Structure 1
Amino acid sequence: MTSITTPYGFSSTAADVAQGIDLTGRRVVVTGASSGLGAETARVLAGTGAAVTLAVRDVAAGERVAKDIADTTGNQELHVARLDLADPASIAAFTTAWQGPLHILVNNAGVMACPERYTEQGWEWQFATNHLGHFALATGLHDALAADGAGRIVSVSSSGHQLSPIVWDDVHFAFRRYDAWLAYGQSKSANVLFAVEATRRWADDNITANAVMPGAIYTNLQRHTEGGRGSGGVPAELIKTVGQGAATSVLVATSPLLEGIGGRYFADCAEAEVLDRRGAPLQGVARYAVDPAGARRLWTVSEEMLADAD
């Protein structure tokens, strides 16, 4: 399998990647689009002519961002909808309300290294928000994505996935001592595994999913880190702007070079090397995160968790 390369790289911005792309008539959902990478991703995709729905917890903040995007791009096809990824009822309301086809789903929202917290179902907060919520959203929107005939899903992961594989026997820290970074790591591993299995499982629907690593960017995501293990130690020259951080998501969402390509992990606008040991900072994808057997297992486990929540 040949690795995908593109003319873009570390310093490319989302605007660079979207240059010349016309998504007029296409519909896009971006989660977590009220700030940071999500807002920039929504902005650039709106600039291509797409009708963009900002799926956000804070509707007022989303409305402010949508107005700014409309003002700066001239695109008035901006919509804001409430979505709480830690609440299955909120996700069900969003997917039930969706009408018509969906061309691109950007699973961007997330939490990082937050204090120990659990949902009403007993799910660890980061796994619930970063993975289970997006899993429920994507499966709930499956028919809308299939209606396009070439639906794309962007699963925003992180090099932090190298902090932990999924600990199958204790996903929700029921017995082991809670560690914010291990919890974050396994949730980000889940984001990659989801892309692998969604692409395999939905191949007949021509839906592809790819995982992306935006890079090291200072946004609201880091509000819990305080220079901790997952955010410290990154050389200044590896820190990206928000525009650069959104580039790989926009590339995976729009590039003709990725037509029919799925189940892969991209960083700096190119497919990353699969690693058996951690390498240079922010580089590569752990083999366990792209393991097909692990991806199938995660899908089954996720379905069971969500079924138990009903």
Structure 2
Amino acid sequence: MNTRFETTALDVVEGADLSGRRAIVTVGASGIGVETVRALAVAGAEVTIAARDLDAAQRVAVELMVATGNKRISAARLDLASQQSVKAFARDWDGPLHLLVNNAEVRATPLTRTAEGWELQFATNHLGHFALTLGLFNSLRADGARVVNVSSSAHLKSDVVFDDLHFEHREYDRWQAYGQSKTANILFAIEAGKRWAAEGITTTAVLPGSYRGLAPYAQDEESAALLWKVSEETLGVYDLQAALR
């Protein structure tokens, strides 16, 4: 007996009709992002590829329009490490949004800090997506909206270390930093699911590739609530500082 333990993006949308539905996939111009965009397009959705490299995203959009026959694939610039870019993207989005796939990431980079002094992986993989999702909240209040955070089995490498999120007081480890950001993706989905259920917004975290189990700390509701609070405070302080500059 041949039993399959994996599901492709095309398997997921088989038989689905997403005509009239609008989706955003962050960094849908490479890796699994391309296949996610392809699957959504095959199902008839209108898809926006949000990526830092706009030229690459536009090339992929054209290729997928030809491959799928769906002409409603577009590209828009989004740099999740830049809060100005995130705010501009959310401000420019017009109309309802039915599916947001928070897929973009930076992985295992050398210690790098954003203009705010935030560690790059946490700033991009979590804070960038957190700000983007909140910025698109009113558009997500469309009927049946769904937010999907793409995490990783690498979340097993680290809990969210609230005492030192940005490696200011501990030795930097690139994989630990990546793992922390991937745990944050899961905790964000948990808390958003609780807060937004009444709005009809469903939030999910997925772990592509081989599944090795979910760490208990990535399921902790108190940690999820704390992460939301800390994230709001972090972005709020940034907004205040930006206003004063």
Closer/same/farther in 2, CA of residues 9 and 205 from structure 1, 3 Å limit: farther
Structure 1 Cα separation of the partners of residues 173 and 4 of structure 2: 33
Task: Show CA shifts across 1:238-280 (max 9, x none).
Answer: xxxxxxxxxxxxxxxxxxxxxxxxxxxxxxxxxxxxxxxxxxx
CA RMSD of aligned residues (A): 1.1
Amino acid at match of 2:213: G
1:151 Cα deviation after fit: 0.8
Residue 41 of structure 2 corresponds to residue 112 of structure 1: no
1:16 Cα deviation after fit: 1.8
* Structure in which a larger fraction of residues adopt helix: 2
Task: Show CA shifts across 1:66-95 (max 9, x none).
Answer: 001000000000111000000000000000
Sequence identity, in percent? 54
1:11 Cα deviation after fit: 3.2
1:12 Cα deviation after fit: 2.6
**Partner residue of 2:134?**
139
Question: Which gives a bigger RCO, structure 1 or 2 (Cα 8 Å, sep 6+)?
Answer: 1
Q: What is the TM-score normalised by the length of structure 2?
A: 0.95
How many equivalent residue pairs? 237
**Partner residue of 2:234?**
305
Closer/same/farther in 2, CA of residues 99 and 118 from structure 1, 3 Å limit: same
Closer/same/farther in 2, CA of residues 143 and 21 from structure 1, 3 Å limit: same
Task: Show CA shifts across 1:86-106 (max 9, x none).
Answer: 000000000000111000000
**Equivalent residue in structure 1 for 2:163, among 163, 169, 190:** 169
Structure 2 gap ranges (5+): 240-245
**Partner residue of 2:242?**
none
1:9 Cα deviation after fit: 5.2
**Partner residue of 2:224?**
295
Structure 1 Cα separation of the partners of residues 8 and 184 of structure 2: 26
Task: Show CA shifts across 1:142-187 (max 9, x none).
Answer: 11001x1211000000010010001110000001011001100110
Structure 1 Cα separation of the partners of residues 234 and 5 of structure 2: 37
Q: What is the TM-score normalised by the length of structure 1?
A: 0.75
Task: Show CA shifts across 1:181-226 (max 9, x none).
Answer: 110011000000000000101111011111001116xxxxxxxxxx
**Equivalent residue in structure 2 for 1:77, among 57, 62, 72:** 72
